């Protein structure tokens, strides 16, 4: 079957949808990938090492680098003083006098914050010199717990801001108060979501060169965008954006959102290069990565629902507190606002109240982590749905069925502004139940329980947003402040298709892939448009901000590839096709609209015998411009910039369509808790998706499996732990636990496809769904296994055996009492 | 994460190793498989002046069976000798020894829990014993079996019983001029049954708690790792039922268990009770 | 006895993927850095430098191990095999092909280490169970795939090798 997938299809237009093997793999399997640390650098490039704060909160009273500078091979030491002289603090998306520099200036606010950079002839020598930099710290009281940090008497991180709560906004849609007043039931849940991360196996890499003569900086990095951050970096470096050249190598070792957070280190290395007078290379090591790179926001949520006797939810009230760490680093507080339009999830709930507070604590600044915002929202929402079923004595499946957005209602406008583009949630649910064999699971649960064993079944229904509206973050501002700042919206994607002088097709894209197989998928898409085979298409995924088509939304995040970038490539290929049709129409003796592109040939629909080869047809654009039809430009290269029409700026009522498309997933988890050890054994996990049209099913399933493994890690073992004094307890891969092949079971995957009407190919994202659904689905199953007596607020991720066993003991004490 | 500058010496004989240790003492560290020491060097948690690599010392790569032992630890099952494992023998090599399960069944049971395939390929028996991590499997097994450690220096050779060798968290009775030359695991006793069980958060991680037990006709010898600062061993008569539960509970309470990021002290005590009971019941 | 003093450059000779190679480095240089930056074997990846993630795994004298937990000088005179030596004449080995067939990689950063572990493992365990394959893989961290394709590829290639061996014997 696999072999069939690789073969040419019988007719054109059918490469998309096939589980093609990846063109990326041969180089990667042979060890011949070119990752950032493998890319060539200029001779004389120096190595950087970063001195980081051992304290969570302290005033820096003195830095003396004299001893370090005298050491062999050391060429420069960069400190806060250099950074103050040559850069500006990073801009912040809420108007607050917060000064966040690329290196600490005067004060450190989290353990692991960069304090100085040593530049030396090699990394070993640079690390030697770190130990010789003398820093005097005067310790300040740390603030670790987000709730405590929000109290008026808390120790303040940024004196000029005057409070650790840097944003506090409330929203109201419909009339939620009336719904709560009328409701037969009010069901409430209090939850916390932990800080964790995607921890790609390749850490960050930056090679920066300060260019003389005011030419700015040249940077090679595995930074993944969003390229809106190019503006943040160039403003910090006090240069025009055009003078910051950003390049990305051919391959990248995963990101999961995390490498977005490299941008402050790009600025730091630019400064280091300027000071050292030579190119500087920094390779983040694993200890640096864990302590200092980034984290998902930790969140404290109270969520309440107004519910009828039948389980129908009439209103939701969210109170969310996001722990963004020591600085509000761009694009935070986007973790909140990415999800804002769809805070009602998969449900038809017309009335909504939201309060969002952002609090700073003495922890690593938060940022993108796969699922961005989704895990936090759905952990509350889907735990709540489970509680509604428990408290009202309903079958949870009925609660889903009664509340889902009805199948015929798409596109459906959610109260906070999301325009749910397409879907059939009820059908996905039925497919999921069949895939999971839920009747069998319920029988297994009954049998297990009557034998005294702890067996539980959990569900989760999630809407997976993709292709983020670049304007959603402005929902954090009041409508008045927004009007003053000017509207922002859209999600521009760019792709270039070029046909060369021998008819070869090259495609350039703006997606900065981190291993997802974009080159293969783009080849499938463009092959279909041009009547070629994917093998004929050369896809260039390297990035160069000076040479590629890109705009603010470029990058590898918000699952924008399948819907936006692949769509733009499709449109660019169609443009090339139109031009070729015009060029060849004369020779083929037909109208351009009647030129057929199939199997590497062009022919008139009425005369398949008289075909021109694709290469021959394309050749004229290069070799014989005189033969081109009048008005036709020579050369054959088309760049398309595409933005979804449906992404407007937030309106005067704070409604915003936060993403262009919304996929759906329904998960079922059955598990057993070992009474002796508290450990969890997953008996079955089924995950069923609607991601619109699927471009390559093998790659889509790969995204599902990878997201599932990460979601399982978040559910059961992954957490960035801080001690009360702010010291970091998860500083190595022996402390921050990532699931291995022994811990990750094989999920049953099923799909249903309702194409998006809003993307060129009908595709939606699929890469983040399980990061959103799996943590809460497993938590619901654990709660079910522990029984109705368990304190719902005690279900806190990660559910380690130690925590679970304490709950087993507490629950059974209560039952026996 | 790069090691500090160091003088590296590749020794060819035990005499060379002990000469360097005599000369450098605390400034030198013995490097065998490096699976514990190298991470510490990379993190600069250790920065010795000299590293003595013993991995190519042929004398230390031997496994000898039926070695006379001092029977220094009266509490263990009767045995007529020991398997003496040289300091440079890797865990993988011992694991692959066809007679291992007959000679020292508890070692055979515990080895698969140590790290991973790739780390056992390099990690040594002697290195794990010398490192004395309180959550590591081999120190627990050595203590459970009442084994010995042979220490060699220019002053001679001495054998130390496991219970005196492990002195605390990452601390042993090995003096600065001494090399762990051999680890002696007593051979299985007639009629004795051996078991090993542990709970870790992931396969291959250090144990949150591990229990090793030997059950003979008239005694239970139980050892606990991962909870206190070193393996704890107790010998009881053939307890069963609630008497066994009481003994395990008392043992769990005596251990100085601590909370950490991964598990609470009470969870670890619970594991001592449940793992202990299931293991003893299995061996009874 | 051989002494490599600190602060000096020392000659280290290895047989790298079947070819004699030498380079110079300090006594403290990690084998992973030596292979990558001195000998140019950039297919050896570095993911944690404390022996957990497994990305840097290579085969030294026939045995898979972490190259971040070894000093280059300690490898002097040894046979080192890396991912660069798996393909022959630009044709991927059966193991590499199985990885491609089963979509056993995404970003590919952990892959070279896993291929080397699997090479050693299959040589010693020609008929492994899925459980045994998973136990071996637990010495590697992959953040992309959920391991499904990796397990399938290794089991598949083991079966194919047995089949081929059986055919040859018959």
Q: What is the CATH number of the domain that holds B179?
A: 3.30.465.10
Contact A532, A502 (CB under 8 A): no
Residue C166 has pLDDT above 70, yes or no: no
Three-state DSSP class for residue A654 = coil
Residue C169 has pLDDT above 80, yes or no: no
A797 at interface of B, judged by CB pairs closer than 8 A: no
The DSSP line for B74-134 is TTSPP-S-EEEEETT-BHHHHHT-TTHHHH-HHHHHHGGGSS-HHHHTT-BHHHHHHHT-T
CA distance B122 to chain A (A): 18
B205 & B249 share domain: yes
Which one of B17, B33, B53 terminates a domain?
B53
pLDDT for position A815: 56
pLDDT for position A95: 85
Assign residue A192 a region (left: φ > 0; alpha: ψ between -120 and 50; beta: otherwise). beta
B67 & B48 share domain: no
Selecting from A127, A732, A742 the residue whose C-beta is nearest the C-beta of B203 gives: A742
A512 at interface of C, judged by CB pairs closer than 8 A: no
* In chain B, % of residues over pLDDT 70: 96
d(CA A606, CA A589) in angstroms, rounded, equals 10
Give which of B1, B20, B33, B38 to mutate to test C binding, by max C Cβ within 10 Å: B38
- β-pairing verdict for B50-53 and B7-10: parallel
Residue C165 — very low, low, confident or very high, per pLDDT cuts 50/70/90? confident
Element spanning C139, H or E: none
Element spanning A137, H or E: strand A134-139
Contact A248, A18 (CB under 8 A): no
| Eight-state DSSP code of residue A472 | G
- Tell me phi and psi for residue A251, to 5 degrees: -125, 155
C27 contacts in chain B (CB < 8 Å):
5-8
B72 & B180 share domain: yes
The DSSP line for B169-216 is TTEES--TT-EEEEEEEEPPPTT-EEEEEEE-SSTTSPPSEEEEEEE-
Contact A290, A721 (CB under 8 A): no
Selecting from B38, B43, B117 the residue whose C-beta is nearest the C-beta of C136 gives: B117
- Tell me phi and psi for residue A693, to 5 degrees: -75, 130
Contact B187, B105 (CB under 8 A): no
Beta-carbon-side half-sphere exposure of residue C7 (alpha carbons within 13 Å)? 4
d(CA A787, CA A812) in angstroms, rounded, equals 10
A741 at interface of C, judged by CB pairs closer than 8 A: yes
Give which of C144, C145, C153, C155 to mutate to test A binding, by max A Cβ within 10 Å: C144
Q: How many domains does chain A have?
A: 1
Selecting from C108, C112, C141 the residue whose C-beta is nearest the C-beta of A251 gives: C108
A34 at interface of B, judged by CB pairs closer than 8 A: no
Q: What are the b/e assignments for B40-68, b being 16+ CB within 10 Å? A: bbbbeebebebbbbbbbbebbbebebebe
d(CA B52, CA B59) in angstroms, rounded, equals 15
Both tokens of A546, joined, read: 């000076």
pLDDT for position B74: 43
d(CA A666, CA A16) in angstroms, rounded, equals 25
pLDDT for position A13: 56
> In this complex, do C30 and B35 lie within 8 Å of one another by their Cβ atoms?
no
Among all residues of chain A, which has the CA nearest to that of C113? Answer: A31
- β-pairing verdict for B63-67 and A107-108: unpaired
Contact C62, C118 (CB under 8 A): no
pLDDT for position A93: 86
Q: How far apart are the first and last CA of chain C?
A: 51
C57 contacts in chain B (CB < 8 Å):
118
The DSSP line for A196-248 is -----SS--EEEEEEETTTTEEEEEE-----THHHHHHHHHHTS-GGGEEEEE
**CATH placement of domain C94-165:** 1.10.150.120
B225 & B138 share domain: no
B2 in a structural domain: no
pLDDT for position A555: 97
A500 in a structural domain: yes
Element spanning A460, H or E: strand A454-468
B1 in a structural domain: no
Both tokens of C133, joined, read: 């394959």
| Chain mean pLDDT for chain C | 96
C140 contacts in chain B (CB < 8 Å):
118
B74 & B168 share domain: yes
Among all residues of chain A, which has the CA nearest to that of B207? Answer: A734
Bridge partner residues of C22 (DSSP): C13
Both tokens of A755, joined, read: 């194409």
Range of the domain at A550: 2-33+492-642
A505 in a structural domain: yes
Dihedral sign for Cα atoms in the order A472, A475, A479, A481: negative
Chains touching A by CB (3 or more pairs below 8 Å) = B, C
When pLDDT is averaged across residues B171-195 and rounded to a whole number, the result is 96
Three-state DSSP class for residue B242 = helix
d(CA A275, CA A86) in angstroms, rounded, equals 10
**Chain A, chain B: beta-carbon pairs less than 8 Å apart:** 64
Cβ-based neighbours of A164, under 8 Å, separated by 6 or more: A143, A149, A150, A154, A156, A157, A158, A359, A360, A361
- Tell me phi and psi for residue A485, to 5 degrees: -75, -20
Q: How many domains does chain B have?
A: 3
d(CA C32, CA C18) in angstroms, rounded, equals 18
Chains touching C by CB (3 or more pairs below 8 Å) = A, B
CA distance A296 to chain B (A): 18
C74 contacts in chain B (CB < 8 Å):
8, 10, 31, 34, 53, 55
Ranges of each domain in chain C: 10-85, 94-165
B261 & B212 share domain: yes
**Domain holding B28: CATH number?**
3.30.43.10
Contact A355, A321 (CB under 8 A): no
A72 at interface of B, judged by CB pairs closer than 8 A: no
Both tokens of C129, joined, read: 């169970």
> In this complex, do A286 and C41 lie within 8 Å of one another by their Cβ atoms?
no
Among all residues of chain C, which has the CA nearest to that of A33? Answer: C43
B148 & B105 share domain: yes
- Tell me phi and psi for residue A275, to 5 degrees: -70, -40
B201 & B266 share domain: yes
Among all residues of chain A, which has the CA nearest to that of C133? Answer: A741
> In this complex, do B202 and A739 lie within 8 Å of one another by their Cβ atoms?
yes
C51 contacts in chain B (CB < 8 Å):
35, 38-39, 119
B120 & B237 share domain: no
B16 & B68 share domain: no
CA distance A694 to chain C (A): 17
A124 contacts in chain B (CB < 8 Å):
2-3, 5
Contact A284, A203 (CB under 8 A): yes
Range of the domain at B160: 61-186
Cβ-based neighbours of A393, under 8 Å, separated by 6 or more: none
- β-pairing verdict for A419-420 and A537-540: unpaired
> In this complex, do A801 and B199 lie within 8 Å of one another by their Cβ atoms?
yes
Cβ-based neighbours of A547, under 8 Å, separated by 6 or more: none
When pLDDT is averaged across residues B170-185 and rounded to a whole number, the result is 97
B65 & B182 share domain: yes
Q: For the beta carbon of residue B102, count every other beta carbon within 10 angstroms.
A: 11
B40 in a structural domain: yes
Both tokens of B223, joined, read: 């050892």
B225 & B257 share domain: yes
> In this complex, do C143 and A710 lie within 8 Å of one another by their Cβ atoms?
yes
Q: Which position has the token pair 């293991």?
A: B279
C49 contacts in chain B (CB < 8 Å):
1, 39, 42
Estimate to the nearest angstrom the gap between the alpha carbon of C153 and the chain centroid. Answer: 16
| Eight-state DSSP code of residue A631 | T
**Which candidate, A234, A190, A254, places its Cα nearest to that of A35?**
A254
Element spanning A113, H or E: none
Class of domain C10-85: alpha beta
Contact A687, A748 (CB under 8 A): yes
**Domain holding A633: CATH number?**
3.30.365.10
Write out residues in chain A with pLDDT < 70, as ranges.
1-13, 814-817
> In this complex, do B122 and C70 lie within 8 Å of one another by their Cβ atoms?
yes
Q: Which position has the token pair 């930790």?
A: A298
CA distance C40 to chain A (A): 9
Give which of B2, B3, B6, B8 to mutate to test C binding, by max C Cβ within 10 Å: B8
A71 in a structural domain: no
The DSSP line for A525-554 is HHHHHHT--GGGEEEE--EETTTS---TT-
pLDDT for position B70: 62
A609 in a structural domain: yes
A283-to-A37, A245, A265, B133, C142 alpha-carbon distances in Å: 7, 19, 10, 31, 20
**Domain holding B222: CATH number?**
3.30.390.50
A545 in a structural domain: yes
Both tokens of C6, joined, read: 């600190």
> In this complex, do A31 and C55 lie within 8 Å of one another by their Cβ atoms?
no
A 251-280 residues inside an 8 A Cβ radius of C: 251-254, 256
Among all residues of chain A, which has the CA nearest to that of C152? Answer: A746
Selecting from C69, C121, C138 the residue whose C-beta is nearest the C-beta of B203 gives: C138
For the stretch A245-279, pLDDT in tens is 999 999 999 999 999 999 999 999 999 999 999 99
The C-alpha torsion from C152 through C157 and C159 to C164, rounded to 10°, is 160
Chains touching B by CB (3 or more pairs below 8 Å) = A, C
> In this complex, do B199 and A677 lie within 8 Å of one another by their Cβ atoms?
yes
> In this complex, do A287 and B1 lie within 8 Å of one another by their Cβ atoms?
yes
C 67-86 residues inside an 8 A Cβ radius of B: 68-71, 73-74, 76
């Amino acid at each position: 079957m696999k072999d069939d997938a690789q073969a040419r299809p019988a007719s054109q237009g059918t490469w998309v949808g096939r589980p093609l093997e990846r063109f990326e793999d041969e180089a990667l399997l042979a060890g011949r990938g070119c990752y950032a640390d493998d890319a060539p650098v200029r001779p004389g490039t120096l190595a950087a090492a970063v001195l980081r704060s051992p304290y969570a909160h302290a005033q820096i009273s003195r830095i003396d680098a004299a001893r370090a500078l005298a050491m062999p091979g050391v060429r420069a030491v960069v400190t806060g003083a250099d950074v103050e002289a040559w850069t500006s603090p990073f801009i912040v998306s809420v108007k607050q006098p917060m000064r966040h520099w690329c290196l600490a200036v005067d004060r450190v606010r989290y353990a692991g914050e960069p304090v100085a950079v040593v530049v030396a002839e090699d990394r070993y020598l640079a690390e030697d010199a770190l130990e010789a930099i003398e820093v005097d710290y005067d310790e300040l009281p740390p603030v670790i717990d987000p709730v405590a940090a929000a109290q008026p008497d808390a120790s303040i991180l940024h004196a000029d801001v005057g409070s650790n709560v840097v944003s506090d906004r409330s929203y109201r849609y419909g009339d939620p108060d009336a719904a709560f007043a009328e409701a037969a039931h009010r069901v409430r849940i209090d939850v916390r979501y932990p800080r964790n991360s995607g921890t790609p196996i390749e850490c960050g890499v930056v090679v920066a060169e300060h260019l003389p003569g005011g030419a700015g900086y040249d940077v090679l990095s595995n930074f993944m965008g969003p390229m809106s951050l190019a503006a943040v970096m160039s403003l910090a470096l006090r240069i025009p954006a055009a003078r910051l050249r950003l390049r990305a190598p051919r391959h990248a070792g995963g990101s999961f959102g995390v490498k977005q957070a490299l941008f402050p280190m790009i600025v730091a290395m630019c400064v280091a290069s300027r000071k050292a007078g030579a190119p500087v290379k920094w390779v983040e090591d694993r200890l640096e990565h864990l302590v200092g790179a980034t984290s998902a926001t930790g969140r404290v949520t109270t969520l309440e629902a107004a519910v009828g006797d039948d389980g129908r939810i009439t209103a939701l009230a969210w109170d969310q507190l996001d722990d963004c760490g020591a600085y509000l680093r761009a694009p935070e507080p986007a973790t909140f606002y990415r999800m804002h339009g769809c805070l009602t999830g998969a449900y038809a709930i017309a009335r909504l109240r939201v309060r969002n507070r952002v609090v700073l604590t003495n922890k690593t600044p938060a940022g993108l982590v796969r699922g961005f915002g989704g895990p936090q929202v759905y952990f509350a929402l889907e735990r709540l749905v489970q509680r509604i079923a428990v408290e009202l004595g309903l079958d949870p499946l009925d609660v889903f069925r009664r509340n889902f957005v009805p199948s015929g209602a798409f596109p459906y406008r959610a109260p906070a502004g999301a325009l749910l583009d397409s879907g059939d949630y009820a059908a996905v649910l039925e497919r999921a139940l069949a895939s999971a064999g839920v009747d069998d699971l319920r029988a297994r649960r009954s049998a297990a329980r009557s034998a005294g064993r702890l067996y539980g079944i959990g569900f989760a229904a999630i809407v997976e947003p993709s292709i983020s509206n670049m304007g959603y973050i402005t929902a954090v501002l009041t409508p008045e402040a927004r009007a003053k700042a000017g509207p922002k919206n859209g999600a521009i994607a760019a792709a270039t298709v070029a046909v060369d002088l021998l008819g070869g097709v090259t495609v350039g894209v703006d997606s900065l892939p981190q291993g997802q197989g974009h080159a293969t998928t783009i080849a499938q898409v463009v092959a279909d448009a041009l009547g070629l085979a994917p093998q004929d298409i050369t896809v260039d995924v390297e990035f160069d901000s000076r040479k590629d088509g890109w705009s603010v939304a470029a990058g590898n995040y918000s699952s924008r590839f399948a819907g936006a970038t692949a769509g733009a490539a499709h449109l660019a290929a169609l443009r090339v096709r139109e031009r070729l049709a015009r060029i060849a129409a004369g020779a083929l003796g037909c109208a351009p609209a009647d030129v057929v592109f199939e199997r590497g040939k062009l022919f008139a629909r009425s005369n398949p015998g008289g075909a021109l080869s694709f290469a021959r047809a394309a050749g004229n654009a290069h070799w014989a411009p005189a033969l081109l039809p009048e008005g036709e430009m020579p050369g054959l290269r088309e760049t398309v910039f595409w933005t979804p029409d449906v992404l407007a700026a937030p309106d005067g009522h704070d409604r915003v369509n936060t993403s262009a498309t919304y996929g759906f997933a329904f998960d079922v988890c059955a598990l057993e808790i070992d009474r002796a050890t508290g450990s969890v054994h997953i008996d079955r996990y089924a995950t069923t998706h609607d991601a619109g049209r699927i471009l390559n099913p093998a790659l889509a399933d790969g995204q599902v499996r990878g997201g599932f493994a990460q979601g399982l890690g978040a559910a059961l073992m992954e957490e960035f732990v801080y001690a009360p004094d702010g010291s970091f307890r998860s500083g190595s891969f022996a402390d921050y636990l990532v699931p291995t092949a022994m811990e990750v079971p094989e999920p049953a995957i099923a799909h249903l496809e309702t194409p998006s009407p809003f993307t060129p190919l009908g595709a939606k994202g699929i890469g983040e769904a399980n990061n959103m659904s799996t943590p809460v689905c497993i938590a619901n199953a654990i709660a079910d296994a522990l029984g109705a007596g368990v304190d719902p607020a005690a279900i806190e991720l990660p559910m380690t055996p130690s925590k679970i066993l304490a709950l087993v003991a507490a629950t059974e004490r209560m039952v026996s009492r | 994460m790069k090691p500090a500058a160091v003088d590296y010496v590749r020794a060819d004989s035990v005499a060379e190793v002990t000469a360097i240790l005599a000369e450098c003492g605390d400034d030198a560290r013995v490097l065998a498989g490096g699976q514990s020491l190298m991470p510490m060097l990379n993190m600069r948690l250790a920065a010795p002046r000299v590293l003595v690599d013993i991995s190519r010392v042929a004398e230390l790569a031997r496994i000898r069976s039926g070695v006379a032992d001092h029977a220094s630890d009266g509490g263990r099952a009767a045995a007529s000798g020991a398997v003496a494992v040289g300091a440079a023998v890797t865990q993988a090599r011992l694991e692959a020894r066809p007679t291992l399960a007959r000679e020292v069944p508890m070692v055979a049971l515990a080895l698969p829990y140590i790290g991973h395939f790739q780390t056992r390929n390099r990690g040594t028996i002697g290195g794990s014993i010398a490192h004395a991590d309180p959550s590591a499997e081999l120190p627990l097994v050595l203590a459970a079996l009442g084994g010995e450690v042979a220490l060699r220096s220019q002053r001679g050779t001495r054998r130390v019983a496991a219970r005196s060798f492990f002195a605390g968290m990452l601390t042993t009775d090995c003096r600065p001029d001494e090399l762990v030359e051999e680890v002696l695991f007593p051979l299985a006793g007639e009629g004795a049954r051996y078991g090993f069980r542990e709970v870790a958060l992931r396969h291959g991680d250090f144990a949150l708690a591990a229990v090793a037990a030997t059950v003979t006709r008239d005694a239970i010898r139980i050892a606990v790792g991962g909870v206190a600062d070193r393996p704890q061993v107790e010998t009881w008569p053939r307890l069963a039922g609630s008497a066994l539960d009481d003994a395990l509970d008392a043992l769990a309470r005596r251990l100085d268990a601590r909370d950490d990021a991964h598990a609470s002290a009470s969870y670890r005590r619970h594991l001592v009770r449940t793992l202990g009971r299931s293991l003893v019941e299995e061996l009874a | 006895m051989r002494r490599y003093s600190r602060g000096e450059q020392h000659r280290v000779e290895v047989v790298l993927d079947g070819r004699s190679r030498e380079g110079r480095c300090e006594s403290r240089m990690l084998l992973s850095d030596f292979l990558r930056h001195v000998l140019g074997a950039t297919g050896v990846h570095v993911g944690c430098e404390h022996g957990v993630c497994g990305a840097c795994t290579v085969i030294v004298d026939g045995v898979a191990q972490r190259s971040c937990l070894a000093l280059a000088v300690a490898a002097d005179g040894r046979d080192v095999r890396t991912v660069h030596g798996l393909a022959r004449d630009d044709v991927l080995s059966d193991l590499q092909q199985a990885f491609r067939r089963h979509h056993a990689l995404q970003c590919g950063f952990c892959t070279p280490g896993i291929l080397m572990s699997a090479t050693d493992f299959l040589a010693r365990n020609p008929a492994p169970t899925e459980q045994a394959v998973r136990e071996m893989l637990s010495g590697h961290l992959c953040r992309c795939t959920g391991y499904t394709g990796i397990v399938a590829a290794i089991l598949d290639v083991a079966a194919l090798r047995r089949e081929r061996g059986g055919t040859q014997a018959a």
